[in-house]
Amino acid sequence: MSKELKVAVVGVTGAVGQEMLRVLEERAFPVRELVPVASARSAGREITFRGEAHVVRAIAPEVFEGVDLALFSAGGGTSREWSPIAASKGALVVDNSSAWRQDPDCPLVVPEVNAAAAKNPKKGIIANPNCSTIQMVVALGPLHAAARLRRVIVSTYQAISGKGAQAVAAFERQAAQLAKGEPLDAADLETLGGQLAGNVLMHWSRDAEAGYQEEELKMVFETKKIFGDESIRVSPTTVRVPVVSGHSESVTVECHEPLSAAQARALLEKAPGVVVVDDFARGVYPMPIDCVGKDPVYVGRIRDDVGNPGGVQMWVVADNLRKGAATNAVQIAESVFF
């Protein structure tokens, strides 16, 4: 990477923003100048990048002057207001919120699957998909290329860090209070959407008419958009589990052409971004505790679907803050600039 860029990270003090800095460092992304950006209440704080202190700037039009790349992870409202401003200044925006995912003029990109879609975005904005969608489509990509997806049934087991650092802290307090037999804090119950310690929750915004959660409907729309195939049927159920980091998914696949577990395993073993961890007879399969801080999507329990011959089932695990957010965003930038 010979070209060096001026890079803004918006939402730099948040969990994903901090992970973006780590990923930029680890991947030796050619940052000529870093512009750390956050809300006014975080302005003036110091963050460290490549061993040097940088002062966080409050978001404003002038912070994007001369910026080549703006990585946004500051929520949908902030992105809707400020991403077009950053793009108007000449920056390529890669946004981690849901603000632009359904915009037909904003590509929705997972580089292992549809890197070409990132070229020449009409609005100068590229959307980073939802964390649960990213890891699933990385695993589905080689199967779709070989046999074309017909239907996907997915149940997610999503980590608390996907809801942010405040949710992780609330969960830790709940677990401590539960262990001591103390009443649970009302504010923590509100933050988490209920008692998560010793429990699982389905607490995303609900579509009362459809009976689905917003998180589930994202997976339906995003999978179709990423693969460019509206005919793919996606049946999702999303669940928050008492795991701090690392999303897990049970995925059942039916393709237009019959696919065996052996064929699927061979395809996945050669797929970019995938690591097959699959020796279930010896108790070996991907676990979220083993994927934290790592970038690949781990796939195991690859097996023939006994309920639908010609179909395949598998278990998919990834770090939701890394490949599910920060790493994918940086990879998008790499695919565009280099």
**Which residues have a catalytic role annotated?**
131, 247
With a pLDDT cut of 90, the percent of the chain lying above it is 98
- Sign of the CA dihedral running 166, 169, 175, 180: negative
Domains and CATH numbers, the chain: 5-128+325-337 (3.40.50.720), 133-320 (3.30.360.10)
Over 60: is that where the pLDDT of 83 sits? yes
SS3 11: coil
SS3 170: helix
Q: What is the mean pLDDT of residues 13-18?
A: 94
| Whole-prediction pTM | 0.95
Q: Give start and end residues of each alpha helix (H) in the chain.
A: 15-26, 76-88, 111-114, 131-147, 165-180, 186-192, 214-227, 261-269, 288-291, 327-337
Provide the pLDDT for residue 208: 87
Provide the pLDDT for residue 106: 98
Residue-averaged pLDDT of the chain: 97
Over 70: is that where the pLDDT of 130 sits? yes
Q: What is the mean pLDDT of residues 190-194?
A: 97
Provide the pLDDT for residue 33: 97
Provide the pLDDT for residue 1: 55
| Residue range 241-253, pLDDT digits in tens | 999 999 999 999 9
| Residue range 269-318, pLDDT digits in tens | 999 999 999 999 999 999 999 999 999 999 999 999 999 999 999 999 99
Q: How far apart are CA 292 and CA 33, in angstroms?
A: 28
Which of the four pLDDT bands, split at 50, 70 and 90, describes residue 202?
A: very high
Over 70: is that where the pLDDT of 69 sits? yes
Over 70: is that where the pLDDT of 131 sits? yes
Provide the pLDDT for residue 34: 98
Provide the pLDDT for residue 2: 63
325: Cα separation from own chain's centroid: 4
